[in-house]
Amino acid sequence: MAKELLKIENLNVIYKTDMETVYAVNGIDLSINEQETLGLVGETGAGKTSTALAILRLLPDRTAHVTDGKIYFEGQDVAEMDDATLRAMRGGKISMIFQDPMTSLNPVITVGRQIAEALVLHNTEGKTKEQIEDRVEEILELVGIPASRKNDYPHQFSGGMKQRVVIAIALSCNPKLLIADEPTTALDVTIQAQVLAMMNELKEKLKTSLLMITHDMGIIAQTCEKVGVMYAGEIIEYGSVEDLFEGKYHHPYTEGLFNSIPNIEETRDRLEQIDGLMPDPTNLPKGCKFNPRCKKCMEICKEKEPPVYQEGQHRIKCHLYGGMNQ
């Protein structure tokens, strides 16, 4: 049976200032096994990035607070890790790829030195300078960049090539978990497809688990085995990709996301849209947080927090399925 690598239980994150409190993550549960890919999908402001930053304990110290919940990595409570364990985990065991390769790279340092930096920082095996240099060349080749380009600067690369360098840095220390936060959003569509294909290939080759954060259902279908649909800081639907794409029951928000995807076989004049906006995270609606936008909203939805309906691994948080568990 696959070993559990990451487990999140009832995670709650707020951002607090003198003026207001932002409820960013509101009680999420998820798990990722070794060599598994989990996707978190949802609109901007759903709490996806806050969840990723909480895993690495990278939330801003002064404003962000984890008010409840636990995060376990390899069975260890991340909140209890000492500084040395935390340093070894960040970049060594868990790496993160950020959205925009243009701002992830230092423009005045060659790409080879930027890859070597991570290797030097996590050099637990006492590698020599030459061995680190060899690894830099190896990892560049792995992401499809000729090793001879290691002395080039980021401005000499295209957007897609820069994102390949960022992926090379993230993979340089053979992490057990790779967190990719919208890794292809800043790229054009053809380059996006190449980068996703490369990430899938590398994941298989290096046996890495992947947490893929995206707003794009197409990316979920191409890369993930499990998926959590996030809305207003909650996972409102969770299950395997088959559950989500072929399942009998869906959360109305997930249905809305599906209806807004273009389909080459359909002849709709217009794509459907989900009316309205994500609720203000400082003042979330009572009851179901999706109720102001939901076409199936009932009276109970405006008053009572929905229960979670579960069938196997598939969970849906919605009053429509409220009675089905009993």
Q: Which of 114, 301, 309, 315 binds ligand SF4 (CB under 6 A)?
A: 301
- Strand, helix or coil at 311? strand
Among 252, 256, 279, 281, interactor with ligand SF4 by CB under 6 A:
252
278 part of the interface to ligand SF4, by CB under 6 A: no
Beta bridge partners of 30: 8
**Number of residues forming the site for ligand SF4 (CB under 6 A):** 14
Paired with 16 in beta bridges are: 21
| Residue of 136, 257, 291, 309 that binds ligand SF4 (CB under 6 A) | 291
What is the strand order of the sheet 4-16 is part of? Answer: 21-33, 4-16, 64-73, 76-77
Least distance (Å) between residue 294 CB and ligand SF4 = 3
Which 78-117 residues touch ligand SF4, going by CB under 6 A?
A: none
H/E stretch holding 85 reads helix 83-89
The footprint of ligand SF4 on residues 212-251 (CB under 6 A) is 251
Task: Report the residue number, 122 or 319, with the smaller CB distance to ligand SF4.
Answer: 319
Which residue is associated with the tokens 């991340």?
78
- Tell me the longest C-alpha to C-alpha distance in the chain: 68
Q: 13-41 as b/e, with b when 16 or more CB fall inside 10 Å?
A: bbbeeeeeebbbbbebebbbbebbbbbbb
Inter-axis angle of helices 189-206 and 159-171, nearest 10: 20
Nearer Cβ to ligand SF4 (22/318) = 318
> Residues 150, 162, 203, 319: which binds ligand SF4 (CB under 6 A)?
319
Residue 154 beta carbon to ligand SF4: minimum distance, rounded to whole angstroms: 44
Interface with ligand SF4 (CB under 6 A), residue from 294, 309, 314, 315: 294
Which residues make up the interface to ligand SF4 (CB under 6 A)?
Answer: 251-252, 288, 290-291, 294, 296-298, 301, 306, 318-320
